[in-house]
Structure 1
């Protein structure tokens, strides 16, 4: 039972908002030592895990590239492109991106988008530009809402799209566990086929929410304009 103390450390660390890397490291070392491993064996286990998951450290290469692109005007170019597409609103743009993200994930292209490499430098600025062209200058609250909807389009599209690809890790894990535990013959293609209805429902539900974003921004813009007009009238009356 003492081995489970590592889980308690993780829960307590995240509850107190400590450094996640430090929490996981301490929990791993504690679990290994309580499990009877020597300090050398614990260190070897950490090294083996890192060596087998080198893709986790790819962000070290990706982030400087994104920073250089943004410094060279990537966001400004994205806004300029949206300025030429007069009929495209923020909700429609994010709906198109949701469908694109889900279809690409269903084909196994899970790394083609993402919050760091696609949403922040490209998708979110394009959505903000589309919203500003239609509704005028956005308030800080409206701007954060557009950014959150852009991130949600990427997350929902990836989460429900990747399970439709039969060679994704989660599908292989489920089929391997079920077949080994319950002695069945579940194939990855069967599980992927059953994931398609969920993906379609997610696209319809979240796509509707994204399209409603335009109406919500319109209402907020109307309220803000009324408040500004009222304050101007009061200022004019006070000046008289």
Structure 2
């Protein structure tokens, strides 16, 4: 047997031990493995290029996060707060309830990436909720401010978790279908999705009540 291609493993171990650039180490190991296995160098590079092209969506995250960071650095959160401060009658309860409804509906349509903690909650929803709470109840104590941030994050979680199961092509529905089928209960994804609707409605009502309860507690604390 030809053990030379295993030299790629040694290159990875040595490169990481010497703290070389991880990307350089991995690419070097891949090239060495391919060449030592008898492949043409051009063929190895083509294989690397094809793998990168097929999985290029993985790199999108590394583009989005710096963009969000730059937007925050140049005042995105401040602008979000200013927008809410300029809306008459805006309250934290109304804002987060609307966002909960938006998150559930879009998740039910399969648009699960329209929201999220890094791209929506931190730069937009949480600052807007804080501004609405301060507009209604005055300056917030540090503890209350953290509660508003936590409720903003929880609203995103609840909306996504109970909304996405209505979309029958989501992975969670297929997992549930597989479990039921293994126990002798053949159900279609559409049947499971339909029965997820009452759960989503209950989640909206319960979490909406939690949002309004926090808003009322902040009002009593401000008074």
Q: Same fold (TM over 0.5)?
A: yes
1:212 maps onto 2:204 in alignment: no
C-alpha distance in 2 between matches for 1:178 and 1:201: 23
Aligned to 2:79: 77
> Which shows bigger deviation, 72-81 or 54-63?
54-63
Aligned to 2:61: 59
Task: State the superposition RMSD in angstroms.
Answer: 2.0
Aligned to 2:178: 176
Aligned to 1:117: 119
C-alpha distance in 1 between matches for 2:91 and 2:98: 11
1:187 maps onto 2:176 in alignment: no
The alignment's TM-score, normalised by the length of structure 2, stands at 0.72
Cα deviation, residue 90, structure 1: 0.6
C-alpha distance in 2 between matches for 1:155 and 1:100: 12
- Segments of structure 2 that go 5 or more residues without pairing to the other structure are 1-51
Give SS of 2:114's match.
Answer: coil
The alignment's TM-score, normalised by the length of structure 1, stands at 0.67
1:140 maps onto 2:142 in alignment: yes
C-alpha distance in 1 between matches for 2:120 and 2:152: 10
Paired residues, what number? 172
C-alpha distance in 2 between matches for 1:89 and 1:176: 43
**Moved runs in structure 1, 4+ residues, more than 3 A?**
51-59, 182-185
Cα deviation, residue 59, structure 1: 3.3
Give SS of 2:165's match.
Answer: helix
Cα deviation, residue 175, structure 1: 1.3
C-alpha distance in 2 between matches for 1:117 and 1:111: 9
Cα deviation, residue 73, structure 1: 1.2
1:88 maps onto 2:58 in alignment: no
